[in-house]
Amino acid sequence: MALTRRGTDMIATVTVLIGLSITAVLLRAFARLKRRVQFGIDDYICFLSVILMIAMLVELLLWVLIGGNGSHQSDLSSETMKNFYKIFLANQFTYFILSPAIKISIICFYRRVFTVKPFQLATFAINGLIALWGVAIFLACAFQCRPLRSYWDHSIEGTCFDSNKFIIVNQIFNVIMDFVILALPVPMIWNLQRAWQDKLALNGVFALGGFVCFASIYRIVVLFWINPADITYTVYQATLWTHIEPSIGLICSCLPIIRGLFPKLNLAGSRKTNAPYYIKTGSHFGLSSAKSPVSEFFKLEDKSITRSTTDTTTPAVPSLGGPMGIQVRTDIDVEQSAERMPLHT
């Protein structure tokens, strides 16, 4: 069937977004290889996610070409409507795997960076919740009609629950999780041994995920615009944002790693400083101060990972930050074995 204006717009928009997503993932992989950091589970899930996004693009092409997406329902044959619902169902299955996968990938990245035990436990629980929800929503999708064939073949008698409400409930969960993910690194970043301007700038890198929150919320809005009487035409916005949301999420998840390709980029902008970032590696969440031994912190630098140690043989004067106001520090460059340091990002 001929492409409609809406169908053409959807394909063009989604193709550009997925192209950007693929580019972001490739840059992420290049950043890992360049800095000789081993791939982690967060990277592998990103690779899986980009494959699922390509699958969604193929589904969209079929949805428009043989499923009538973007056309008025009154202009479509019964066979085209069957194709529409078949691809709609396939799109739901793919999205219900992709959406939690991206969220889990982001949290796994957090776990590589922030290793304090309470944070590790909290993120493990959140990942478990997202994974369980993903499995439950996938199974619910598989059993939304009995028999499932009645979902696309309306000549078969069957019972189905309201799929639109089902999708909205899942999207509300996605919005809540997006805000949780956005807030997770904030207390950790503000405990870095760094000036507040740098903390704010670094937090801004993670806060780019706020675009995902907006996309998730807006997707809920457009779901209410679907009219069952002309679903093939009114599903346009919902279809578009179903692809926009994970694309933005995947791109944002790669940005903190991609930033490693630009070591001379100063987060603070107006401030010139060569001081490293320190992340507390002790077991007490949220406890860090200038009085703590520097050896309890991992230093995040742009060129390589170093471990800083402080001479603590002489009692330090708290007000001066070291013995006689002088802090002795030895930086040990371990760039050659950076692959063994899982905290390096």
What are the residues whose beta carbons fall under 8 Å from the beta carbon of 80, sequence distance 6 or more? 1, 66, 67, 68
Q: Are residues 226 and 283 in the same domain?
A: no
Please report the pLDDT score of residue 129 as a whole number. Answer: 97
Alpha carbons 48 and 55: distance in angstroms, whole number: 11
- The pTM for the full model equals 0.75
Q: Are residues 133 and 169 in the same domain?
A: yes
216, 122, 124: which is closest to 178 by C-alpha? 216
Residue span of the structural domain in which 327 resides: 277-340
Q: Are residues 211 and 319 in the same domain?
A: no
Task: For Cα atoms 285, 276, 201, give the angle at the middle one, nearest 5 degrees.
Answer: 75
DSSP string, 294-331: GGGEEEE-SS--EEEEE--SS--BTTTTBGGG---EEE
Q: Are residues 200 and 225 in the same domain?
A: yes
Report the phi/psi class of residue 276: left, alpha or beta, with left for phi > 0 and alpha for psi in -120 to 50.
Answer: beta
Please report the pLDDT score of residue 265 as a whole number. Answer: 58
Q: Are residues 182 and 321 in the same domain?
A: no
Q: With beta carbons less than 8 A apart as the criterion, state whether 72 and 232 touch.
A: yes
Please report the pLDDT score of residue 285 as a whole number. Answer: 36
250, 211, 205: which is closest to 19 by C-alpha? 250
The dihedral sign for the CA sequence 13, 164, 97, 260: positive
Instruction: Count the neighbouring beta carbons within 10 Å of the beta carbon of residue 140.
Output: 15
In a domain, 64, yes or no: yes
Please report the pLDDT score of residue 201 as a whole number. Answer: 60
> Which segments in the chain show pLDDT lower than 70?
1, 192-208, 263-345
Alpha carbons 225 and 243: distance in angstroms, whole number: 17
Domain-terminating residue out of 261, 293, 323: 261
How many domains does the chain fold into? 2
Domain-terminating residue out of 228, 261, 294: 261
Q: With beta carbons less than 8 A apart as the criterion, state whether 331 and 227 touch.
A: no
Please report the pLDDT score of residue 194 as a whole number. Answer: 62
Please report the pLDDT score of residue 210 as a whole number. Answer: 77
Q: Are residues 328 and 244 in the same domain?
A: no
Q: With beta carbons less than 8 A apart as the criterion, state whether 312 and 327 touch.
A: no
What are the residues whose beta carbons fall under 8 Å from the beta carbon of 186, sequence distance 6 or more? 203, 206
Strand order in the sheet with 297-300: 277-280, 297-300, 306-310, 329-333
Which tokens sit at 164? 């639109």
Collapsing DSSP to helix, strand or coil, 159 comes out as strand
Q: Which amino acid is at 303?
A: K
Q: With beta carbons less than 8 A apart as the criterion, state whether 102 and 253 touch.
A: yes
Q: Are residues 228 and 111 in the same domain?
A: yes
